């Protein structure tokens, strides 16, 4: 049984994946956040922005599934630390420790500025929709470098949205069921002929925007299709931001920051991507100066 490292193991995708792969691999689950242990895992806390931690967690494994990092649009400083420096550290630590196989779950946001009426494949030029998307393009490029220069085997999955079921119209095109995720990850770990590959991490969705023939060439046979949820989702769908609905990346194309979803306390402002986008647009509008108090000069609005 192979030993694999899953970084970002406490996140939603990492948790779904660990449940699906339990008993199939010896899993070393790593995250900066607390991890709820599943089955017989080795749990290690690590900060991948620190090379010493990256070296420690990649030692003695046969494959790395690198899910760790900043998972939404946000301030550049956070993305730089986790998704640029952290990603480099994981690749370099794996190389130094003799780990040949790295699975890099990149994102649909690496190509988010393609229109929804376009079908794209793994050969298209990246069109990131956000700083987060830029960081995923960086990870793909880094994987290409490590494959060509150091002979590592790199499997990049442009993940859509991993959930037990799709939650809105956009995700009818992007949905990636947990069992299909596990199947594609298993291919990435086990396939004997991988040098550098890019595939799309989606289920067999009839509404997909992606030509995923490269994944099918490697043996991927997804079992799920979002269409079974379509009628229910479309019946409740409300019109959204016109720019967001034009492009595959959705609200990432217009928002400056998208917080991680979390329970909303009574009276608190919404943390949904749609609400975050509305606040981002409001912040981008010029502010009118307040009337000056007697004897004081008016303050200038933000530029």
Report whether 276 contacts 255 (CB < 8 A): yes
Nearest to 138, CA basis, from 162, 163, 109, 101: 109
Closest of 169, 170, 182, 168 to residue 224, by C-alpha? 182
Nearest Cα neighbor of 44 from 88, 96, 7 is 7
Is 132 known to be catalytic? Answer: yes
Place of tokens 């379509």: 230
Say which residue the tokens 């490590």 belong to.
Answer: 146
Contact 57, 105 (CB under 8 A): no
Q: Which one of the listed residues 132, 200, 220, 247 is annotated catalytic?
A: 132
Three-class SS state of 135? helix
- What residues are annotated to the active site? 132
């Amino acid at each position: 049984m192979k030993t694999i490292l899953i970084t970002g193991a406490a996140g939603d995708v990492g948790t779904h994946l660990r449940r699906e792969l339990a008993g199939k691999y010896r899993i070393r689950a790593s995250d900066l956040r607390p991890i709820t242990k599943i089955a017989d895992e080795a749990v290690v806390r690590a900060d991948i922005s620190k090379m010493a931690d990256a070296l420690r967690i990649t030692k003695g494994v046969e494959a790395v599934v690198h899910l760790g990092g900043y998972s939404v649009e946000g301030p550049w400083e956070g993305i730089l630390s986790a998704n640029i420096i952290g990603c480099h550290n994981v690749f370099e630590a794996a190389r130094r420790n003799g780990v040949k196989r790295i699975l890099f779950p990149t994102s649909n946001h690496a190509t988010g500025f393609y229109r929804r009426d376009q079908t794209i494949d793994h050969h298209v030029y990246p069109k990131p929709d956000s700083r987060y998307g830029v960081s995923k393009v960086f990870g793909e490029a880094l994987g290409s470098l490590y494959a060509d220069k150091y002979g590592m085997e790199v499997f990049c999955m442009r993940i859509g949205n991993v959930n037990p079921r799709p939650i809105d119209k956009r995700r009818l095109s992007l949905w990636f069921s947990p069992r299909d995720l596990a199947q594609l990850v298993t291919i990435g770990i086990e396939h004997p002929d991988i040098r550098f590959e890019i595939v799309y991490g989606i289920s067999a969705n009839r509404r997909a925007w992606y030509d995923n023939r490269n994944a099918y060439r490697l043996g991927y046979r997804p079992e799920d299709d979002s269409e079974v949820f379509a009628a229910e989702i479309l019946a409740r769908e409300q019109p959204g931001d016109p720019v967001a609905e034009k492009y595959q990346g959705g609200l990432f194309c217009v928002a400056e920051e998208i917080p991680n979803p979390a329970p909303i306390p009574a009276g608190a402002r919404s943390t949904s991507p749609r609400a975050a986008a509305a606040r981002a647009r409001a912040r981008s509008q010029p502010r009118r100066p307040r009337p000056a108090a007697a004897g004081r000069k008016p303050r200038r609005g933000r530029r």
